[in-house]
Amino acid sequence: MGYRSVFIQSAARISVRQQQLVILTDAERHLPLEDVDCLLLEDPRSTLTAAALAACAEAGVTVFICDARHMPCGVYTPWNSHSRQYAVIKDQLALTLPAKKRLWQQLVRAKIENQARCLQQCGAAEAAAALQSRAAAVQSGDATHQESAAAAQYFPALFGKGFTRGGECAVNAGLNYGYAIMRGHLARLLAGYGFLPALGLNHCSELNAFNLADDLIEPYRPLVDLFVATQIGPQAPAALSPAIKHRLLELLHAEMRIDGKRHTAAHAMELTVQSLRRACGERGAALLLPELTGTELHRYE
């Protein structure tokens, strides 16, 4: 598994040579493909050879493309990368509504618990305690809508009264950028494990090709929230700096606790997807979901 996030801000030509990613800008740089976890191209003038795309797919590298506003707008996912894709899809389609509701309950509970941990780390202990109570009250399918009630308390406590997710500001720009990175990485993992990303557990929009990714991202969102709350001030310009974008990309390598162990967020996502595969095949199997510990990068021993 790769461990490097490659952020390319200027126009570049990217190719592959002898299992090395060759990046040509003002100079030529070489990176071993096996070291690369994700590649983000921000400048629309950049080019990527077909051979490089194929090599990235084979090596499991997530490739992000940005739009004219320099926001991630697409992710490259390989085809037929799972040897038993038909079996995975059959099990996914066979999930009953009660089973989907139980899995969604686990995701919402983990999300609210991580929101509470985020508030705790930001010094909002009273609001964190209120969210812990809401997490404990989440029912199958979130029948009592604890997720939306928690959000109504969470965002004002984290970013100040009057904050809304629809406004144009540095905070929302940072959240949108970070969420897009997490969502794209999950979409690539789901495709790699043979799932149909459009077939969600709770999200079910006919216009959304990544409903399942939008389900699984929920407990990972607070990692982005914590970074934005601690690293991007409310008075910062709405246009994110390249340094902040790079650090948002590197959140894939931030440390999280999952299944009693510490891993990168990217590997935790893979463990979550693997556990979803088990849950589809073994009725009653629980999802492996992350616990927020901070935004520090994971250090390998």
CATH number at 14 reads 3.100.10.20
Q: Give mean pLDDT, residues 240-254.
A: 93
Q: Where are the beta strands (DSSP E) in 163-260?
A: 254-258
**CATH code of the domain covering residue 169:** 1.20.120.920
Same domain for 68 and 32: yes
Instruction: In whole angstroms, give the CA distance from residue 22 to residue 128.
Output: 47
Same domain for 147 and 35: no
Residue 48 — very low, low, confident or very high, per pLDDT cuts 50/70/90? very high
Domain with 144 in it: 85-297
pLDDT of residue 181: 94
Can you give the length of the chain in residues?
301
Same domain for 197 and 70: no
Report pLDDT digits (tens) over 175-233.
999 999 999 999 889 988 889 889 999 999 998 889 999 999 999 999 999 999 999 97
Q: What pairing do the DSSP bridges indicate for beta strands 36-41 and 4-8?
A: parallel
Q: How many domains does one find in the chain?
A: 2
Same domain for 114 and 244: yes
Same domain for 25 and 166: no
Instruction: In whole angstroms, give the CA distance from residue 49 to residue 68.
Output: 21
Inter-residue contact 110 to 148 (CB < 8 Å): no
Q: How far apart are the first and last CA of the chain?
A: 15
